[in-house]
Structure 1
Amino acid sequence: MSTILTLSIIILFIALMIRVPVFIAILAGTALYFLAAGHANPLLLVQRFVSGLESVPLLAVPFFVCAGVFMNHSGITRRIMTFCAALTAAIWGGLAQVNILLSTLMGGMSGSSLADAAMTAKMLVPEMERRGMSKPFSTVITAFSSTITPLIPPGIGMIIYGATANVSIGQLFMGGISVGLLTCVTMMVMTSWVARRRNYAPLKAADDYVAVPIGKAFLSAAFPLCLPLIVLGGIRLGVFTPTEAGAVAVVYALGLGIAYQELSPSKLSLCLKETVLTTAVIMLIVGAASALAWVLTRERIPQGLTAWMVDAVASKYLFLIIVNIFLLVVGMFIEGNAAMIVLVPLLVPIARAFGIDDIHFAFIFIFNLAIGAITPPLGTLMFVTCGITGCRIRAFLTESIPYFAQMLLCLLLVTFVPQISTWLVDLLYR
């Protein structure tokens, strides 16, 4: 590694740790390389930034972001929440279980964990507190349940990973179903255990949330719940590509909003503004990271790292342990999408050299970064939910210990039982 590249990477990490916006931090380090290296034309920085965005799979990002925003502003979330309450009425934990199941189902529609966390924190946490649950517990449930969103299709992280690693996004969507459900079920079991110890009773039949019979609640939520089936079924049957599926999701969500008479012109304008802002943040990171990835490839860092790792590491299992530890540490300091775009080109070739399945490794990667979103000092989900609910960070971390254990257990299962993430892909595609 050249001295200039080493200095560029040091500047990048320092900028990230002092909370400089992610795309500016990446561009600062990359720009130094292009400006200081006499053999690199500075105009290439702009060229690589733009070319990194010229990817058809990435068109799915604004589409799914837009569909999720429409869902959140058109009353669809409320219908699904009523259905979740009817399903979990008999389970210890009450609205905490509704919170987890709602995040799982909405993750299959919005794809954005931050949007899911913000929405649920505003809608459910005050009601959870009113029913006797502590603020830290309610906040922890909201933040941790939102980590399911990137694991359930159509997670934005899957789209970015697929575009970066040249892996089928359709297969990633299929693999995410079982990984997301595993996380949801284990989290609900953990919540039931905690709820029994604290006497957080199940929702009662007289409760407003479950006054609607389960059949009626299902009929009310039936059309929104069809969206994941339309997206996944259309991709698998070859009716449309993942990118086209995003466009279908937008039209479907918009149609539901109009049909439910809750998507007014003013709300539509707000939705489009939110979509543009969210997409711009993601795309700026993608473009900046694409330029950095070109620099790393030019310096032959992936090739050298692959050769060293294959020689130094005895087995793929040891490699997976090292990768898990490394990504957990990285996720503490770097935003997930940025880490993915920078590190995927480095680690995927090594995983392939060890014979690790692309889909299996993808979910190890995505799961680690999902945990990073709730881990200090960066912990974007932690800060978003605590900022909305007013929970202290220390109280949040104390309350979250059982859920960190649950997430690490799921990570170990995903890492060492590859069939969890690959069985559905093998069944439908191979």
Structure 2
Amino acid sequence: MNGIITLTFITLLLLLFMKVPVYIAILGSSLLYFFLTPGVNSIVFAQQVVGGTESISLLAIPFFVFMGALMNYSGISSRIYDFASILTGRMRGGLAQVNVLVSTLMGGLSGSNLADAAMESKMLVPQMERKGFSKPFSTVVTATSSVITPLIPPGIAMILYGSIANVSIGKLFVSGLGVGTLLCVTLMVLVAVISKKRDYKPIRTEKLTRKEITTATKPAILPLCIPLVIIGSIRLGIVTPTEAGSAAVVLAIVLGVFYKELDFKSFKKAVTESVTSTSSILLIVAAATVFSWVLTKERIPQQLADWLIGTINNKYVFLLIVNVFLLVVGMFVEGNASMIILVPLLAPIAKAFGVNEIHFAMIYIFNNAIGALSPPMGTLMFVTCGITGCKTKDFIKEAVPFYLVMVLELFLLTYVPFFSTGLVDLLY
């Protein structure tokens, strides 16, 4: 590795540690490379920035982000909450169990963990505190349950990974169902154990009547069908992921009008939120595309692959090293940025070791999800703490058992491929 590329990496890390916006940090370090490297035409910089956002598969991102925003303003979120309350109301932990299940169900609708965390921090945490749950516990449950969101289709992370590594987004969606459900069950068990120890009560102890069940379930049936329609239509080859995203937006608007809760003012807010969220994602994509071009020109992926294959002769050791590396990276670098920079490096090496491409994709996305929760720069931690008023030190202390469970599940996912490829093999 020559001095210029080393300086480029150092500049990138320094800018990230200085909390410069991610896309500016990546663009700035890439621009330095273009200035210092003789014989490199600077017009390539502009071409890569523009070209990085022109992938057809990336069109799915604004559609699914818009769909998630519409869900929050059309009354669908409240109907999902009522349905989750019915399912988990008698379980130990009550509202904490509702919190986890709502994240899982909303993951199939919003695709954004930050949007999910912000919504539940406002909607559920105050209710949990009134029911006797501590603020740190309520905040941690909200943040950790939001980790499920990028794993459940149509998670934005899966769309990005698929477009970067040229992996079937439809297969990633199917795999995400299994992985996300596994994490949901694991977190619900952990919540039950902690709730039993602290004597957190269920929402109710009496059995529900058939009328109560019907009243809560009926309004949730149509929203819950949306993820099934998305995955089913992609699997059957009726639509592409991008077309499925546009169809999902239409479905969300129809449901909002049907429920008589989506007016012009709410629609305008949903559009504004979608433009803001999509812009922030695509700015990172554009910037990271330039950086990926720099890495490719300097043959960094090939050199790293040759070194790893020459040093490590076991794919299980390779996966262990990747997991540790990504967990550390996740503490400091935003998930989408790290994905666009590192996936072109790591995915070919994983393939050389014989690791299934869907299996490796879910390992990577799961690592990113944990990173969003991890200090010192975990975005989920800061979003939830900022809304609930929980102190960061209290959050970290309360989150220890949740971190341990998720890391254990990461290694289970890593060394038992069935959890990520079982559903894919069954359907494909």
Quickly name the TM-score band, shorter chain normalised: over 0.9
TM-superposition CA deviations, 1:288-340 (whole Å, max 9, x none): 00010011000000011111100101200000000000000000000000000
TM-superposition CA deviations, 1:100-154 (whole Å, max 9, x none): 0000000011100000000000000000000000000000000000000011111
Amino acid at match of 2:228: L
Report the Cα distance in structure 1 between the residues aligned to 2:285 and 2:419, rounded to whole angstroms.
Answer: 29
Q: Please state how far the C-alpha of 1:212 moved relative to its aligned partner.
A: 6.7
3-state SS of 1:133 partner: coil
Give the length in aligned residue pairs: 428
Amino acid at match of 1:366: I
Could you say which residue in structure 2 is the equivalent of 1:413? 412
Report the Cα distance in structure 2 between the residues aligned to 1:210 and 1:408, rounded to whole angstroms.
Answer: 40
| TM-score where L is the length of structure 1 | 0.98
Could you say which residue in structure 1 is the equivalent of 2:369? 370
Contact 1:70-1:254 at 8 Å conserved across structures: yes
Q: Please state how far the C-alpha of 1:215 moved relative to its aligned partner.
A: 2.5
3-state SS of 2:132 partner: coil
Could you say which residue in structure 1 is the equivalent of 2:231? 232
Could you say which residue in structure 2 is the equivalent of 1:281? 280
- The verdict on how the C-alpha distance between 1:262 and 1:210 changes in structure 2, with shifts beyond 3 A counting, is farther
Q: Please state how far the C-alpha of 1:201 moved relative to its aligned partner.
A: 1.1
Amino acid at match of 2:16: L
Could you say which residue in structure 2 is the equivalent of 1:74? 74
Could you say which residue in structure 1 is the equivalent of 2:245? 246
3-state SS of 2:109 partner: helix
Report the Cα distance in structure 2 between the residues aligned to 1:238 and 1:360, rounded to whole angstroms.
Answer: 22
Could you say which residue in structure 1 is the equivalent of 2:213? 214
Could you say which residue in structure 2 is the equivalent of 1:83? 83
Report the Cα distance in structure 1 between the residues aligned to 2:206 and 2:255, rounded to whole angstroms.
Answer: 29
3-state SS of 1:356 partner: coil
Could you say which residue in structure 1 is the equivalent of 2:391? 392
**Alignment partner of 1:111 is 2:114:** no
Structure 1 spans left out of the alignment, 5+ residues: none
Structure 2 spans left out of the alignment, 5+ residues: none
Could you say which residue in structure 2 is the equivalent of 1:172? 172
Report the Cα distance in structure 2 between the residues aligned to 1:214 and 1:146, rounded to whole angstroms.
Answer: 26
3-state SS of 2:338 partner: helix
Higher alpha-carbon deviation: 209-218 or 129-138: 209-218
Amino acid at match of 1:41: N
Could you say which residue in structure 1 is the equivalent of 2:379? 380
TM-superposition CA deviations, 1:349-390 (whole Å, max 9, x none): 100000000000001101011100010111000000000000
- The verdict on how the C-alpha distance between 1:65 and 1:368 changes in structure 2, with shifts beyond 3 A counting, is same
**Alignment partner of 1:319 is 2:318:** yes
Report the Cα distance in structure 2 between the residues aligned to 1:244 and 1:354, rounded to whole angstroms.
Answer: 34
Report the Cα distance in structure 1 between the residues aligned to 2:51 and 2:214, rounded to whole angstroms.
Answer: 50
TM-superposition CA deviations, 1:236-284 (whole Å, max 9, x none): 1111011101001100011111111111111111110110000000000
Report the Cα distance in structure 2 between the residues aligned to 1:18 and 1:78, rounded to whole angstroms.
Answer: 39
Could you say which residue in structure 2 is the equivalent of 1:132? 132
Contact 1:86-1:210 at 8 Å conserved across structures: no
Contact 1:64-1:111 at 8 Å conserved across structures: yes
Runs of 4+ in 1 over 6 A off after TM superposition: 209-212
**Alignment partner of 1:340 is 2:343:** no
3-state SS of 1:154 partner: coil
3-state SS of 1:109 partner: coil
Aligned residue runs from structure 1 range 8-27, under 5 A: 8-27=8-27
Q: Please state how far the C-alpha of 1:406 moved relative to its aligned partner.
A: 1.0
Q: Please state how far the C-alpha of 1:2 moved relative to its aligned partner.
A: 1.9
Percent identity between the two aligned chains? 57
3-state SS of 1:400 partner: helix
| TM-score where L is the length of structure 2 | 0.98
Q: Please state how far the C-alpha of 1:89 moved relative to its aligned partner.
A: 1.4
